[in-house]
Amino acid sequence: MAWNFAAGPARLPDAVLAQAGALFRRSDDGACTIERPFSGPRFRAVLANARQRLAELLDLPSNYRILFMAGGAMQQFALLPMNLARAGQAVAYADSGYWSRRARQEAGWSGPLIEAARHPGATALTAPVAGKWALPADCAYCHITPNETADGIAYPALPDTGAVPLVADCTSALLLAPLAVEKFGLIYASAQKNIGPAGLCVVIVREDLLERSPVALPAVFSYRQQAEAGSCVNTPPMLALEMAALVFEWIAGQGGLPAMAAANQKKAALLYGAIDGSRGFYQAPVEAVHRSPVNVRFQLAADALTERFIEQAAAAGLQHLRGHPQVGGLRASLYNAMPLAGVAALVDFMADFARRHG
Ligand SMILES: *Cc1c(COP(=O)(O)O)cnc(C)c1O
């Protein structure tokens, strides 16, 4: 038995992989879904089903729209200011770690960048304090990364940005637990962490913000035009969408987002508990209340053992535990599709490794 702890592309639910083969079976019309016109009724039904299921999982307020767009989260880094800011209008970004910085970088061409909240620095591994953030009223939006996949840092609470719409990169956070969608102007998540295969990005946007997309924006880049076209301005990532729909169904079948939250808490508690209970052999450097529930960052007190740990873990079937290259150390990603048994196997291995090397 091997377990894949990669941060993304990540493990998909067993049940979804088992069903996925059927997506390639042709039916009476001599085609499977990905061989059919994307504008035809059969694919439109797939799309409508995916949208409906996601809306149900999120208990989506009626003034929000779901867009299924091609590409990843980084495309959205660029599309956000194109759609939501006027030429030269300020946009605010909070720095919580690696991905929030990449997002800010990709928006830098658009106009003045406002530092919404500072990362407290490498020694204090936390997200910015999520209080009331003072932002200029004419700021187009304020961007946060609620879960920093590379740094293993999560916001324990959302900031209050007043009238400035809160925009969130939820790539490694969407569908892990119930979410108060109404607190956001826009949420986006590329699929390959917790939703499905790469190539698809989910964008959930408050309807009134669609009016901001400039008329001159090319159609595929325009949130407004994508919304008007039901995410079919051009051919959407059909296979990724079909698989995402299976993932949404699987989550619903497990008891929805409350059940995901309970399972994720249990897994995180098991792993962080093993780290904290190792008498310093393993260390979780992120401050306790800011620890990511799904990207568990840890390290060995004896750094020289890190390579041996990764090697022996892989030999024991525990794969992809190396930390993000910008961060180092170790990381285990425990999204929805990682069962408790996988985490238990990791924890057992860690105890054994500590006994042999402690
Ligand atoms: C993985 C990740 C990205 C990058 O996603 P792509 O789909 O590769 O563009 C961006 N933000 C966060 C938080 C991520 O975890």
Please report the DSSP string for 23-76 in residue order.
GG---TTS--GGGS-TTSHHHHHHHHHHHHHHHHHHT--TTEEEEEEES-HHHH
**What pLDDT sits at residue 113?**
85
Considering only CA atoms, which residue is closest to atom 7 of ligand 1? 72
Q: What is the band of 121 on the pLDDT scale with cuts at 50, 70, 90? A: low
99 in the same domain as 58: yes
**Helix 73-84, helix 98-107: angle, nearest 10:** 40
Confirm whether 28 is domain-assigned: yes
H runs (alpha helix) in 85-234: 98-107, 223-228
278 in the same domain as 216: no
**CATH number for the domain harbouring residue 19:** 3.40.640.10
Domain total for the chain? 2
229 in the same domain as 289: no
230 in the same domain as 282: no
250 in the same domain as 262: no
Query: Active-site residues: which are they?
Result: 99, 169, 193
- Percentage of residues of the chain with pLDDT beyond 90: 92
CA distances 236 to 45, 71, 192, 223, 307, Å, are 14, 10, 16, 14, 41
Asked whether 189 lines ligand 1 (CB < 6 A), one says no
Of 78-82, 120-124, 134-138, least confident by mean pLDDT is: 120-124
Confirm whether 7 is domain-assigned: no
- From 101, 155, 172, the mutation candidate for ligand 1 (largest count of ligand atoms within 8 A of CB) is 172
**CATH number for the domain harbouring residue 308:** 3.90.1150.10
Q: What is the pTM of this model?
A: 0.97
165 in the same domain as 30: yes
Averaged pLDDT score across all residues of the chain? 95
**What pLDDT sits at residue 124?**
67
Q: Express each pLDDT in 56-98 by its tens digit.
A: 999 999 999 999 999 999 999 999 999 999 988 999 999 999 9
Q: Is 133 helix (H, G, I), strand (E, B) or coil?
A: coil
Closest CA to 260 of 178, 346, 153: 178
Q: Scan for tokens 């960052």, then name that residue.
A: 297
Last residue of a domain, one of 254, 274, 291: 254
Give the span between the Cα atoms of 107 and 269, in whole angstroms. Answer: 36
What is the domain extent for residue 262? 255-357
Quick one: average pLDDT of 120-140? 85
Confirm whether 5 is domain-assigned: no
**What pLDDT sits at residue 123?**
62
- From 105, 149, 327, 334, the mutation candidate for ligand 1 (largest count of ligand atoms within 8 A of CB) is 149
Quick one: average pLDDT of 318-344? 97
Identify whether 9 is preceded by a cis peptide bond (ω within 30 of 0).
Answer: yes
Last residue of a domain, one of 224, 254, 284: 254
165 in the same domain as 280: no
316 in the same domain as 223: no
